[in-house]
Homo-oligomer: A and B are copies of this chain.
Amino acid sequence: MAIERPTRPAARATGVGELFQLLRDGAPRTRAELASTTGQARSTIAARVELLLAAGLVSATGEAQSTGGRPPATFAFSPEVRVVLAVDLGATHARVALTDLASNVLAVAETAIRMDLGPTHVLGLVCALGDELLAEAGRERSSLVSIGVGIPGPVEFSAGRPINPPIMPGWDGADVPGIVHEHFAVPVLVDNDVNLMALGEHRSSWPDIDDLLFVKVATGIGAGIISDGSLRRGAKGSAGDIGHIAVDGAPAVPCRCGNTGCLEAVAGSEAIAAALAEEGIEVTGSAEIVALVRGGDRAAARAMRRAGRDVGTVLAACVSMVNPSMIVVGGGLAEAGEQLLAGIREVVYKRSLPLATHDLRLVASVAGTDAGILGASALAVDHVLSPQALDERLG
């Protein structure tokens, strides 16, 4: 039996998009240096640098040391000229930011939304907010190059469409890019909110960690997987969907998915609220639970720790499966701090193999509530700066 030739294209883009990748690290380079690195003709390089200058992606940064005669000009990536909109949609709120191409936040706003009013209504609000942010930051509409949107449900990434999202009635199969497009004529990228939180946390705080698992613990529980440095979405975009994994040893609590004993059903905020209700404590939502834990309530601390152990049971299997070197815990319940992390650590370090846990770090999210918009920004930026997109736009 022989192995077929690789079917992925061997030919690389060698146009303006590829040239830009050389400049993306921000270091200034002369035309001569670019010609020598690429092996391409000086005239070809000069023409492509002009395209990048005109697009506002590269600027002249000064002059290199002269070896005699007029010193040659240097060029570098200028991430501050163009902007993207970063949208983080939750069940009841939207957080929208305007960032530059280095994901520096230029303006940010949050607003209450009702997802059940449907995509046209919600995305209309988001676009109006985008216009306000552009005005606030003093940027022209023409400087906007792309939009990233995170939504709280499964997404078919290539099409940008939600698929059977359980908490978003009216959104199944909605053409999110198409609706946003009617307002802003730029590329629109859509992904699951937890994937974007993972991407945002990774890029902003741990860019050198190639294998990272981000876990969101709130009403819903989900994960985003960074493997070999990139976000992995799986075949249908549902990778990291750990909220409905059965928890070994947990009670057979019915879950809204139809199965029993799912992680979300035994360790999400509703499960914690139900446990506290049995002790006569009425709470609603992650924030109230976190406030109780922080206020020193023992029953709440116990419930949180138990939830941590359930999350840890599932994460132990995930650690065996994908072998990350870091687990980052975020989401509303993570704000409770050590009680949740301690429960998770307890089980993960006990149940996973030594090789997988030897150098494993388990930490709370650094980006916190900004993880989602940072990830949406990174998604939007990565798209417009990719060789393919640049070749198409400028080449």
In the complex, per-residue mask of A21-54: 1 if CB is within 8 Å of any chain B CB, else 0 = 1111110000000000111110010000000000
Within 8 A of B (CB), among A1-33: 1-8, 10-12, 14-15, 18, 21-26
**Bound-state Cα–Cα, A159 to B7, Å:** 29
Q: Is A325 an interface residue (CB 8 A)?
A: yes
Binds B, one of A112-120, A128-136, A233-241, A292-300: A233-241
Number of copies: 2
* Contacting residues, chain B, for A122 (C-beta < 8 A): none
Given A25-B6, A244-B353, A359-B235: A39 in contact with B37 (beta carbons within 8 A):
no
The one of B103, B259, B352 in contact with A351, judged by C-beta atoms closer than 8 angstroms, is B259
**Contact, CB under 8 Å: A3 / B377:** yes
**Contact, CB under 8 Å: A318 / B321:** yes
* Contacting residues, chain B, for A283 (C-beta < 8 A): none
Q: Residue of B at shortest CB range from A211?
A: B235
Minimum distance in angstroms from A41 CB to a CB of chain B: 7
The one of B203, B249, B322 in contact with A232, judged by C-beta atoms closer than 8 angstroms, is B322
Q: Is A279 an interface residue (CB 8 A)?
A: no
Minimum distance in angstroms from A242 CB to a CB of chain B: 6
Q: Is A248 an interface residue (CB 8 A)?
A: yes
Within 8 A of B (CB), among A199-253: 200, 203-204, 207-208, 210-211, 223, 225, 227-230, 232-242, 244-249
**Contact, CB under 8 Å: A210 / B229:** no
Minimum distance in angstroms from A356 CB to a CB of chain B: 5
Minimum distance in angstroms from A250 CB to a CB of chain B: 8
**Bound-state Cα–Cα, A247 to B316, Å:** 12
The one of B154, B203, B321 in contact with A321, judged by C-beta atoms closer than 8 angstroms, is B321
**Contact, CB under 8 Å: B163 / A203:** no
Q: Residue of B at shortest CB range from A199?
A: B3
**Bound-state Cα–Cα, A32 to B254, Å:** 67
**Contact, CB under 8 Å: A102 / B351:** no
* Contacting residues, chain B, for A225 (C-beta < 8 A): 321-322
In the complex, per-residue mask of A333-358: 1 if CB is within 8 Å of any chain B CB, else 0 = 00000000000000000111111101
* Contacting residues, chain B, for A1 (C-beta < 8 A): 105, 204, 367, 370, 374
**Contact, CB under 8 Å: A14 / B2:** no
**Bound-state Cα–Cα, A211 to B237, Å:** 11
Q: Is A329 an interface residue (CB 8 A)?
A: no
Q: Is A146 an interface residue (CB 8 A)?
A: no
Given contacts A12-B22, A248-B261, 20 further A-B contacts (CB under 8 A): A2-B103, A2-B104, A2-B105, A3-B102, A5-B24, A12-B12, A12-B18, A15-B39, A223-B321, A234-B356, A235-B360, A236-B356, A237-B323, A239-B323, A241-B320, A241-B353, A241-B355, A242-B321, A257-B353, A321-B321
